[in-house]
Amino acid sequence: MPERIDFPALVAGHTVVIEMINSGDTGLPVLNQLLRVAQSALGAAGMAFVEFAPTGGRVIAATGAVEWTVGRPLPVDDPATVCLLSGDRVQQVRTDHLRGKLAAELAGRDLVTMVVSRAEIGGLTVGSLHALYPAGGTEPDAGQHGVVGYLASCIAHMYGDQSGLPVHGDGPVVAALADGLAVVDRDNRVRLWNPAGAEVTGIAATQALNQPLPFPLPPSGQVLDHRLPDGRWLRITSGELPGPGILRVVTFRDITDQQRRDHDRDLFVAVTSHELRTPVTVIKGYADTLTDHWESLTEADRRQAARVIGQRANELARLVDRLLSSATGAGPGEEPPAPFDLGDALAAAIADLPSDLRHRMVVDLPADLPKALGHRPSLATVLTELSTNAGKYSPPDTPITVTASCDGQTVSFRVSDQGIGIRPEHVERAFDRFWQGESGDRRRYPGAGLGLYLVRRIVELQNGWVSLRPRAAGGTVAEVRLPRG
C-alpha cells in the first residue's frame, strides 16, 4: 500500500469522470468509474458505495477485491449500518470489530481496515463510500481520509442532480425511516437524530443534538414503553454499537394508537365482567330461592321472585346487546347524540333499580326540566352505578336523593347519600379503575372499583362530565352534567 496518494492519477481520473458527465453519462457508469479512479489513487484493495433506502442499505457499485459485494444488502438494524450513519462523517473502522454478516465476510477475506465517509445532502445521508485495505499494510493517513470524504461529497452532488441516482429511487434511509433513530454516546448525549425522531417527539434535531436523550434509555436489547408529557406513547429499543467509542443506537416509534386500542380492549373486558355479573348473580339467587324454598314461599313471594328474575333477564339482554354492538363498532359511543327527556329517563331508570335501592330513592325532578343531549339508553347504567355506590357506602335505612336542575348550557342531576362521605383529596382518584379508597372503612365494602370508572367513560363520551364532592351534612354527592338538547 503506498504511503502517499497518487494525486496525478486522481486528477486525471476525476477529469475523465467529469467528461463522462458532460457527455451525458449518468448513474452507475459514472459511479463505477469514480470508484476505479479512487481505488488506484488511494492504493486501496477495493472500493464500494452503499446506497441507503428506507429498507436499509445496498451495495450498488464496487471494484477490486470487493466487487463481489455488489447487490449485498445492509439491513437498517444491522449494527454496521448504524455505525455508518453515526459519528464523524469520515471515519476509520475495523471490519473485525463490526457485527453483521457482510462485515464478517470482509474480515474473513483479510480486508480489515476500512475508511468510510457518508454522502450527505442537506444533512440527509444518501449513501456511504468505502475504501478497503488488507491487514498488515500501512494505516491510511489523514490525506486518504480527506480524499474519501471529498469523493463522497462528489457522489452526493450526483444524487442532488438526480441523474440516474438513486438507483432504487426511494430516498435516503435516515430521512425516510418512519421510526425515530438516535445514536447516543457514553454520557447519554445525542450524536445522531433523524427527521422521523423530530416528527415523533416534536423535538428538532437542533434541540436534540449534544443534549441528553429526552426519554429513558432501556437496557441494550430490551423494549420500553414510555409516555411523553403530551400524552403520546413511545416504544423504545436500544442496542450497543461496536467500536472503540461506547455508542448506543436507539429506535423509537409512536404507539399511541396501539395503546388506545389496548385500553379500549381492557375497557370492554371491564364492562363485560362488571355489568354482566350483577344481573347474573341476582337471577341465580332468586332462582335458587324458588328451587330451594318453593313450598315455604307465599304466592306473593313467588310472583315477586319471578318478577325480579324477568326484570333482570331483560336487563341482561339489554347489556348483552349493548356489549355485542360495541364489539362490532356500533356501540352507544358510535351513535350520534340526540335530545332526550332527562326527567323521564331518570324516572324509568329508577323504576328498574333493585327493590332494596328503589325503596330508598327520594326523587325531586322539576317538571320543566329541558331535554339533554346524549344517549338515553346509557343513562340507566349511569344512574344504577351511582345509586349502587350511594347505597353501598351509606346505612340501609337512610335515603338516597335524586335531584335535577339546569343552567344555560347544561342539564344536570345529582345522586346524594348520607353515608361515610368522601375525602376531598379522593374526589378524582375515585374515578380511577380498580381504586376503592385507602381507608379501612372502605376496604370493608365489596366491589371491583369499576363502577365510577365506567360512569365517567360513559358520560364523557356524551360530551358531559361527572364529579364527586362531600355532602355538607355528611355523605357524598355525585353530579352528572350533560349538554342541553
- Nearest by Cα to 36 from 50, 20, 17, 23: 17
CATH of domain 257-330: 1.10.287.130
Given a contact cutoff of 8 angstroms between Cβ atoms, the answer to whether 251 and 181 are in contact is yes
**Contact (Cβ atoms closer than 8 angstroms) between residue 179 and residue 195:** no
The listed CATH number (3.40.228.10, 3.40.47.10, 3.30.450.40, 3.40.50.1820) that belongs to domain 7-161: 3.30.450.40
405 Cα distance to chain centroid: 41
Task: Let me know: does 401 contact 391? Beta carbons within 8 Å.
Answer: no
Which CATH number is 335-485's, of 3.30.450.20, 3.30.160.250, 3.30.420.40, 3.30.565.10? 3.30.565.10
Q: What is the DSSP string of 400-465?
A: EEEEEEE-SSEEEEEEE--SS---GGGTTGGGSTT---SSHHHHTS---S-HHHHHHHHHHTTT-E
- pLDDT one-digit tens code per residue, 18-27: 888 888 888 8
Q: Which of 51, 48, 90, 84 is nearest to 65 (CA)?
A: 48
Mean pLDDT by 10 residues, the chain (485 residues): 71 88 84 93 93 76 92 74 75 86 90 91 80 89 92 86 63 50 82 80 86 87 81 80 61 75 60 66 84 89 87 70 48 69 92 84 91 89 88 91 92 94 79 57 46 82 88 90 89
Would you state the pLDDT for residue 129? 95
CB 9 within 8 A of CB 40: yes
Bridge partners, 124 (sequence order): 121
SS3 assignment for 251-310: EEEECHHHHHHHHHHHHHHHHHHHHHHHHHHHHHHHHHHHHHHCCCCCHHHHHHHHHHHH
The residue behind cell 342541553 is 484
Segments making up each domain of the chain, as ranges: 7-161, 177-254, 257-330, 335-485
Cα(277)–Cα(13) distance, rounded to whole angstroms? 83
Measured CA to CA in angstroms, residue 197 lies from 55, 101, 158, 226, 253 at distances of: 17, 28, 27, 15, 8
The rounded distance, in Å, linking the Cα atoms of 51 and 120 is: 11
Sign of CA dihedral 312, 329, 343, 418: positive
Give the whole-angstrom CA distance, residue 460 versus residue 110: 67
* CB 296 within 8 Å of CB 424: no
The whole-number pLDDT of residue 3 equals 46
Residue 261: other Cβ atoms inside 10 A: 11
Q: How many CB atoms lie within 10 A of CB 113?
A: 24
As given in the structure block, the three cell numbers for residue 127 are 449513501
Q: Give the pLDDT confidence score for residue 55 in this predicted structure.
A: 60
Helix, strand, coil content of the chain in percent (nearest 5): 45, 25, 35
Same fold yes or no, 7-161 and 177-254 = yes
What is the rounded CA–CA span in Å between residue 350 and residue 121? 70
- Kindly provide the b/e burial profile for residues 419-438, where b requires at least 16 CB atoms within 10 angstroms of the residue's own CB: bbbbeeebeeebbebebbbe
Q: Angle at CA 146, nearest 5°, toward 143 and 148?
A: 115
With the CA atoms of 160, 163, 164 and 165 taken in that order, what torsion angle do they form, in degrees rounded to the nearest 10? Answer: 0
As its CATH architecture, domain 177-254 has 2-Layer Sandwich (3.30)
What are the pLDDT digits (tens) for 198-238?
888 888 888 888 889 999 988 876 788 888 888 788 888 87
